[in-house]
Amino acid sequence: MVILKNIKKNDNYIECDIYPEDSTSCGHILVDTATKDIIEYVLPEGYEWCRNHVNHARFALVEIADQLELPNEKIVMWY
């Protein structure tokens, strides 16, 4: 599970704070809306191994990017 908060978008990018499961600290992810590539990301200290969480966050942000109104927060779950 990963929680996305403070989701923001401009003409070229979508970004948010990223909270891996059980983390009280956030990281950050920035995705190019045209190419759908991750431009940069940072995970909280101690959660550097959570690259899978970053990919799930990217997929969710790409999906959100086409919406007229962005949610402020989104929970992404998988199994």
Q: Is the pTM of this model over 0.85?
A: yes
CA dist 74 → 7, 40, 46, 63, 65 (Å): 9, 19, 22, 11, 13
Kindly state the percentage of the chain with pLDDT values over 70: 100
Q: Which two tokens stand for residue 68?
A: 């007229």
How far is the first Cα of the chain from the last one, in angstroms, to the nearest whole number?
Answer: 9
Q: Which residue has the tokens 């940072």?
A: 42
Q: Which residue has the tokens 């191994």?
A: 49
Q: Residues 61-71: pLDDT tens digits?
A: 999 999 989 99
Average pLDDT over residues 54-62: 97
Average pLDDT over residues 37-61: 96
Q: Which of the four pLDDT bands, split at 50, 70 and 90, describes residue 1?
A: very high
